[in-house]
């Protein structure tokens, strides 16, 4: 062991200045990134486990956790752009495979997007809208496939895919009736606030279900809850069709994996720095 | 290369320290979560406190011979208010039980007054108080879940060490007496 460490020390001393800087920089970046991801997993796991579930009927204002079922917006489901599946929410990405002179491949995103409509959920007591902008969305329905033709019947407007290149298509969806777990900032809109909320959304969809939703909501004259990203960026905004238990496991696993990974660049950094200086 | 051991030891020490900070921050969040959950109940108790005199005034016009029943409602209202002001959760639970019992009595007695049942403002107040009672019941559940999360966390290892070091304590659950836990179903009381 001692011999190996001495060899590493010798090697660190023999590095020229530019290699030394590069290795130090790369190891520092990886150390910090892995450590940040470890802390993120740890924090999220604790926040999810430590936040009680609010019922929508009497939902407390502020950072809250809700559980319910997704429903098509005022009975109007969306059609996802890549697979044309009926859903309540979607996100898609199309990437093109590029090769450099050495034959190394990389993926460049040529088109991506999310459904602009809020997601409607209900529990046993009431309904709420989830405004997914800025949220981490975890879905059970996630499809990914590859295609060389670039000639699919895709409903996303004019996109130059370029024939002959390999493309990767990814689509995530939330379907009607799926259980939804969400953690974010909950606020209740009165009638005036509701108009302010729906007006900018209606610009994208002037005669669609959003108008109908706004009218129906006004007719019901009951408050509308909206769950959205919290102003405090440290508080995660999570929307998931996986249950609370699965999410806790997921973030605990993230913390464990990055805790282990953290040690590799950290020790490499320590070896190079102290070998050089020692 | 004698320095590698101390470096690893130092790194582990820093990580343990940081983990301690994460635990401390989580305990602070839990404590504030309980306060927030209580504030959410408190606001509804205040709203109901303001609505009850209107109800009593409306009822008084039709039930002038039921002074004792009305007095019980007012007494229970004051009892809840006092407990609420002192933030005495156990006492709020007991007083809330009396409040619900006295309201049920009031509405049971009101059955004998058809003119009162037909009164518009009485119907509105009945609906409003019923809604508030449901919301209080929901938020009581939420508050108790917050308390449970806090109380369990401060007894779990390694959180217990940080909790003891910084005096993080348990909170009382908000419990209503078993017979008094039922929602006040005014619709049924009036057979509507």
Secondary structure, 3-state, A194-259: HHHHHHHHHCCCCCCHHHHHHHHHHHHCCCEEEEECCCCCCCCCEEECCCHHHHHHHHHHHHHHHH
A105: helix, coil or strand? Answer: strand
- Using CA atoms, how far apart are residues B69 and B135, in angstroms rounded to an integer? 25
With beta carbons less than 8 A apart as the criterion, state whether A171 and A83 touch: yes
Q: Which of A146-150, A252-256, B30-34, B146-150 has the lowest mean pLDDT?
A: A146-150
- Most trustworthy range by pLDDT among A3-7, A48-52, A257-261, B29-33: A257-261
Mutating which of A6, A39, A47, A50 best tests the B interface, going by the most B Cβ atoms within 10 A?
A: A50
The shortest CB-CB distance from A50 to any of B3, B134, B153 is to B153
Residue in the block written with tokens 């959760």: B89
Residue B51 lies in a domain: yes
**What's the confidence (pLDDT) of residue B191?**
41
Lowest mean pLDDT among A19-23, A181-185, A256-260, B5-9: B5-9
* Closest residue in B to A5 (Cα–Cα): B1
Domain for residue B82, yes or no?
yes
**What's chain A's average pLDDT?**
83
Give me the pLDDT at residue B110, please. 78
Residues 27-46 of chain B with CB under 8 A from chain A are 29-30, 33, 36-37, 40, 44
Residue B99: inside a domain: yes
pLDDT tens digits for range B123-158:
888 888 888 888 888 888 899 999 999 999 999 998
Name the minimum distance, in Å, from the CA of A47 to any CA of chain B. Answer: 8
Of B18, B30, B36, nearest to A60 by CB-CB distance is B36
Mean pLDDT, rounded, for A218-241: 84
Asked if residue B44 belongs to a domain, the reply is yes
On whether the CB atoms of residues A250 and A5 are closer than 8 A, the answer is: no
Domain range spanning residue B121? 4-187
CATH number of domain containing B23: 1.20.1440.20
Task: Find chain A residues with C-beta within 8 A of B138's C-beta.
Answer: 55, 57-58, 125
Q: How high is the pLDDT of residue A29? A: 94
B35 falls within a domain: yes
Q: Are A184 and A135 in contact (CB under 8 A)?
A: yes
Residue A224 to residues A4, A94, A186, A241, B145: CA-CA distances in angstroms?
66, 35, 10, 22, 24
Residue A192: is its pLDDT beyond 80?
Answer: no
Q: How far B26 CA lies from chain A's nearest CA (Å)?
A: 7
Cα–Cα separations (whole angstroms), residue A78 to A3, A117, A125, A181: 65, 9, 25, 20
Q: Is B192 a domain residue?
A: no
Q: What is the pLDDT at residue A248?
A: 94
Local confidence band at A233 (pLDDT 50, 70, 90 cut-offs): confident
**Percent of chain B surpassing pLDDT 70:** 90
Phi and psi at A251, nearest 5°, equal: -75, -30
Reported as a pLDDT band with limits 50, 70 and 90, residue B192 is: very low
Q: At what angle do helices A244-277 and A2-14 cross, to 10 degrees?
A: 70
Q: In whole angstroms, give the CA distance from residue A113 to residue B4.
A: 49
What residues in A contact B26, CB-CB < 8 Å?
Answer: 46, 50
Q: Out of A108-122, B23-37, B86-100, B106-120, pick the least confident.
A: B106-120
pLDDT digits (tens, 9 = 90+) for B9-49: 888 888 889 889 989 998 998 999 899 889 888 888 898 88
Q: At what angle do helices B120-153 and B89-110 cross, to 10 degrees?
A: 160
The pLDDT assigned to A161 comes to: 62
Mean pLDDT on A233-258? 92
> What is the rounded distance in angstroms from the CA atom of residue A137 to the CA atom of residue A118?
13
Task: Give the per-residue pLDDT at B61.
Answer: 79
Q: What sign does the CA torsion over B34, B37, B43, B48 have?
A: negative
Question: Residue A258: which pLDDT band, with cuts at 50, 70 and 90?
Answer: very high
Q: How confident is the model at residue B186 (pLDDT cuts 50, 70, 90)?
A: very low
**Confidence (pLDDT) at A209:** 65
- Give percent of chain A with pLDDT exceeding 70: 82
| Start-to-end CA span in chain A (Å) | 17
Identify whether B45 is part of a domain: yes
């Amino acid at each position: 062991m001692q011999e190996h460490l001495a060899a590493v020390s010798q090697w660190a001393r023999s590095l020229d200045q530019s290699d030394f800087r590069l290795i130090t920089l790369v190891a520092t970046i990886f150390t910090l990134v892995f450590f940040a991801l470890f802390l993120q997993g740890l924090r999220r796991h604790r926040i999810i486990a430590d936040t009680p579930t609010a019922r929508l009927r009497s939902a407390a204002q502020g950072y809250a956790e809700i559980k319910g079922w997704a429903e098509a917006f005022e009975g109007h489901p969306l059609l996802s752009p890549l697979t044309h599946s009926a859903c309540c929410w979607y996100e898609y990405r199309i990437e093109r495979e590029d090769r450099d002179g050495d034959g190394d491949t990389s993926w460049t995103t040529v088109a991506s997007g999310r459904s602009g409509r809020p997601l409607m959920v209900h529990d046993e007591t009431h309904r709420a809208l989830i405004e997914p902008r800025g949220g981490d969305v975890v879905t059970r329905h996630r499809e990914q496939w590859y295609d060389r033709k670039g000639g699919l019947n895709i409903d996303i407007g004019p996109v130059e895919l370029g024939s002959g290149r390999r493309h990767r298509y990814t689509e995530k969806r939330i379907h009607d009736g799926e259980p939804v777990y969400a953690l974010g900032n909950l606020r209740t809109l009165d009638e005036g606030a509701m108009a302010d909320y729906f007006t900018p959304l209606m610009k994208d969809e002037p005669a669609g279900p959003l108008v109908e939703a706004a009218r129906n909501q006004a007719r019901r004259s009951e408050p509308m809850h909206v769950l959205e990203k919290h102003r405090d960026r440290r508080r995660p905004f999570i929307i998931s069709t996986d249950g609370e238990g699965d999410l806790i496991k997921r973030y605990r696993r993230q913390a464990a994996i990055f805790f282990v990974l953290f040690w590799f660049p950290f020790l490499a950094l320590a070896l190079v720095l102290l070998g050089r200086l020692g | 290369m004698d320095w590698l051991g101390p470096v690893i030891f130092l790194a582990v020490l820093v990580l343990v320290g940081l983990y301690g900070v994460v635990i401390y921050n989580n305990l602070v969040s839990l404590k504030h979560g309980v306060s927030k959950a209580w504030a959410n109940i408190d606001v509804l108790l205040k709203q109901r406190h303001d609505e009850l005199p209107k109800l009593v005034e409306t009822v008084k016009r039709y039930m002038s011979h039921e002074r004792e029943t009305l007095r019980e409602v007012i007494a229970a209202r004051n009892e809840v208010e006092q407990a609420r002001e002192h933030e005495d959760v156990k006492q709020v639970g007991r007083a809330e039980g009396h409040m619900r019992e006295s309201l049920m009595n009031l509405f049971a007695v009101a059955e004998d007054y058809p003119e009162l049942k037909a009164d518009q403002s009485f119907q509105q107040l009945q609906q409003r108080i019923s809604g508030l009672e449901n919301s209080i019941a929901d938020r009581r559940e939420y508050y108790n879940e917050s308390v449970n999360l806090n109380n369990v966390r401060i007894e779990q290892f390694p959180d217990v060490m940080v909790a003891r070091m910084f005096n993080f304590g348990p909170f009382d659950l908000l419990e209503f007496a078993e017979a008094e836990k039922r929602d006040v179903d005014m619709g049924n009381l009036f057979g509507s």
